[in-house]
Structure 1
Amino acid sequence: MKRYLVHNRVICIAIATVLLAGCTTFSKDGGFNTVSTTAFERLGKDAVYVKTDADRDAVFQRTQELLSKPLGMDDAVQVALLNNSGLQASYGELGISEADLVQAGRLPNPGFTFSRTHWSDGFGISRTFSMGVLAVLTLPVATRIESRRFEQTKLETANAMLAVAADARKAYVNAVAAEQAALYAAQVKDSAEAGAELALRMRQAGNFSKLDYAREQAFYAESVAQLAKAKQQSVMAREKLTRAMGLWGSGTQYKLPDRLPDLPKDRPQLDDLESFAMRNRLDIQAAQLRTQSVATSLGLSQATRFINALDVGYLDNFETDKGHEHGYEISVEIPLFDWGSAKVARAEAIYMQSANRLAQTAIDARSEVRESYSACVTSYDVARHYRDEVVPVRKTISDEMLLRYNGMLASVFELLADSRDQIAAVNGYIDALKDYWLAQTELQQSLGGRLPPLAMTQTPGAEHSEATPAAATQTPSAPVQDSPLPASAPAPATQSTSPTSPPNSEGQ
């Protein structure tokens, strides 16, 4: 009867172990739903975790569709979310964290020990089944700790996705602005080349001073150097965008628009941005979960400071002269030398470290919001000033100078000098527009990947504003003059000169 009860007890323990071990399983989405939901709600984009060939083919088709037309800002972000290999690698953290959670929710495997001894007139057999009881008792707490860590990993991975999107957006702005600046530098160089050729011919005819000729030569030489520099900066900015989007091979042949999007019609007024950032930023939410997890771990360390190991075993021994022996054994670590104070002190230090990091993260977030908002407001005002004041005034001056030239009240070189004066205004507008879009991206990132809902409805995205004055939309993106002379002016008989070297100075 006793053997029957012991046998039933072992069966019940085995069944309970199997049931408990099956409580924690892998989820269907592997935790990626948090990332995809964040991408859709905050960016309006699709985030895909590429695991199979079917996923890879779908991503390729979607990428080809996006690259088949001039790439917009939102398109660049979507391509990056689909193809950035570094982002795909960060998604692996979800699988690692979920595996830790599942492992923490499973009971430790029982142990089995078998030994056989013999002597002159007999032999003995010893069988022991054992299990770590302490691991079973702490299983709920350990599972809760790993569950919070898994949620923390989800938030950190989603935040990494938002960071990749912001990097792609900034790389796109820099690439388009650099390409626009390079195009304008080429137009300036062509104008300077024609002016230098005209100065050379007038110098050879004896109608031009050596000083004025040297000035035209110097301007042409500088424009050649500026064009080379602008082209290299355009290549660097484009390659940075290519890396951000994760493209290679034929995918690098994408086409960018000729110019950046125009300023929004109005600057949205944003209030309570710090509070919005505290609620919306994923890194703060992840830091909070990390601190909670460390606090729970500290409680577990304090609860198990005296006993680190507790094993219970079932014995079944046999000896020829005694027969079968049944019983149990308990193995406990005796806290004789180590009372667990070092382990608790370590846990307390980790908790204080996590709490202080959380506080610093919140402080940094608030400061980043204030800084990025100030930069966004300032850059918008500067870009609007160029659009509404500087560029129109420069255009008015150019028109008046052209009228004076047509009325023979100004020389061709005065017209060229005026064209050179416009270069700073045009380049200033390009830089101001670039600074605004970069600042807006920084503001969105500091707020957790998106602006407050009211601001999002007021601010156009990557579309050109129809309310922008013509003087602001046309002058910066076009050369000051397609040639150094107006169409109505008597163009001198010029010969083509090398675009990379100053014109011949013979006859100086």
Structure 2
Amino acid sequence: MPGLIERTARSRLKKTARGLTVSGVLWLSGASFANASTLTLDQALQTAFAGNPELAAAQWDIGIAAGDRQQAGLIPNPEVSWEAEDTRRESRTTTVVLSQPIELGGKRSARIDVASHAQDAAGIELERQRNTLRADVIQAYTGAQTAQQRLQLARESLALAEQGLRVAQGRIDAGKSSPVEGMRAQVQLSEVRLELSRAERDQANAYQQLAQVLGAPLPTSVNVQPATQSLPAVPPSTWLLERLNETAELRLARLQIEQREASLGLEKAQRIPDLTVSVGSQYSELDRERVNVVGLSMPIPLFNRNQGNVLAAARRTDQARDLRNATELRLRTEIRTSLAQWQTANGEATAFSQSILPAAQSAVDSATRGFEMGKFAFLDVLDAQRTLIAARSQYIQAVAEATEARVRIERIFGDLSVSP
């Protein structure tokens, strides 16, 4: 009976180890998503664009800016006044006057210019927030994919550890192995169970983060689509840097300079006082006579010539220029850093998939066959399994780092699906 148990366990151990490899690349087998609904990246993006509350709030800025632009173009309202001199009815004089302020110095056109720039800035800001949301969705989605892969890897590792313990126990019962091998197998199983618990917690957290970005709860039966084997190619740095001026952030920074310059023009226009024209009628009860009243009024810019606001607006314009330069420097640095990380991570992932993972899988197969024939100790099987699991984990980490770098680039440029 122990020999039958041992042969069955060896066969299962061998099949489980080989089940980790598909087409020369280590991929996860086991649980299938065929019976559960699958969330694709396109579906996640559509859900986020339709339901993310932060993006929905940002879209109202377009209407707010349109209202400000409409208000900026309105002229001042006229004013009507009524006066009575002498409270006695027989000698009272009443005056009715209609006054209309007239803006001088181009104040209205300057206000329109400022509001128009703010309206354009609202559109670019919405575009920037859409790019940010898209990057956040991709990052959260790939984070859920990574957590899902780590969980499945932990389950495969648990299956390997359980089968290994059965094989070791079978050899111990048959008197072919030392009880020490059983203790080693038990320790390995305990470690894998702890890793499985961490993987389950990490996947739950990743799904919660994805639901937060999407702005909608995810049903418990929904899984993200498994990651594909192919990695996106790294775009040339020269192509990206040539497109730098087209990014939403730099366009917004340039527009802020223009907006500050328009505000400076408005403050300069405020130095010129407005003229108020008045026309009216005056009636005297004593003289029984009505006369027309015409008047002009204008403040005298003796002390307040708006010089403080002009100075502040000029300094804000200088500040906007420096901020634009700082934004360009930051973006250039971030692009170069992200591209270097992307390139390195892609190289690591390729090395793992093409050479390291197949070699680790071959080592597991060889150790399993040797253990079945009594040529290797169970410790050799454990070492081969740990190497295989560690290589798989490093491969997943390399893919995650490549995705993180790509997300940082797309946060700046938006969708990079259009290749150079």
- TM-score (normalizing by structure 2): 0.83
CA distance in 2, matches of 1:222, 1:181: 15
Alignment partner of 1:294 is 2:260: yes
CA distance in 2, matches of 1:248, 1:452: 28
Residue aligning to 1:273: 240
Residue aligning to 2:301: 335
**Pairing 1:441-460 to 2, within 5 Å after superposition:** 441-446=407-412, 448-451=413-416, 453-455=418-420
**Pairing 1:275-424 to 2, within 5 Å after superposition:** 275-278=242-245, 280-305=246-271, 307=273, 309-322=274-287, 323-424=289-390
**Pairing 1:145-184 to 2, within 5 Å after superposition:** 145-184=114-153
**Pairing 1:245-264 to 2, within 5 Å after superposition:** 245-248=214-217, 250=219, 253-257=221-225, 259-264=226-231
The percent identity for this pair of structures is 22
Residue aligning to 2:80: 112
Alignment partner of 1:144 is 2:113: yes
Residue aligning to 1:238: 207
Worse-matched range after superposition: 214-223 or 143-152: 214-223
Residue aligning to 1:47: none
Residue aligning to 2:19: none
State the AA in 2 paired with 1:387: S
Q: SS of the counterpart of 1:364?
A: helix
Q: 1:120 to 1:102 in 2, by over 3 A?
A: closer
State the AA in 2 paired with 1:176: Q
Flag structure 1 segments of 5+ consecutive residues without an equivalent.
1-67, 456-508
What is the number of residues matched between the two proteins?
383
State the AA in 1 paired with 2:74: R
Q: 1:413 to 1:313 in 2, by over 3 A?
A: same
Q: 1:178 to 1:378 in 2, by over 3 A?
A: same
Q: SS of the counterpart of 1:454?
A: coil
Aligned-residue offset at 1:263:
2.2
CA distance in 2, matches of 1:353, 1:328: 47
- Residues 153, 286 of structure 1: 8 Å contact kept: no
State the AA in 2 paired with 1:157: L
Q: 1:115 to 1:349 in 2, by over 3 A?
A: same
Alignment partner of 1:84 is 2:40: no
Aligned-residue offset at 1:123:
2.1
Candidates 361, 380, 398, aligned match of 1:432: 398
Q: 1:225 to 1:295 in 2, by over 3 A?
A: same
Q: 1:436 to 1:265 in 2, by over 3 A?
A: closer
Residue aligning to 2:62: 94
Q: 1:200 to 1:401 in 2, by over 3 A?
A: closer
**CA deviation profile, 1:277-317 (whole Å, cap 9, x unmatched):** 22x2112111211111111221221233253x543322322
Aligned-residue offset at 1:97:
0.9
- Residues 73, 172 of structure 1: 8 Å contact kept: yes
State the AA in 2 paired with 1:260: A
Q: 1:401 to 1:213 in 2, by over 3 A?
A: closer
Aligned-residue offset at 1:394:
1.1
Flag structure 2 segments of 5+ consecutive residues without an equivalent.
1-35
CA distance in 1, matches of 2:44, 2:277: 60
Residue aligning to 1:60: none
Worse-matched range after superposition: 196-205 or 269-278: 196-205
Aligned-residue offset at 1:126:
1.7
**CA deviation profile, 1:385-406 (whole Å, cap 9, x unmatched):** 1111211211222233344345
Q: SS of the counterpart of 2:92?
A: strand
State the AA in 2 paired with 1:254: V
Q: SS of the counterpart of 2:300?
A: coil
Q: CA RMSD for the aligned pairs? A: 2.5
- Residues 298, 348 of structure 1: 8 Å contact kept: yes
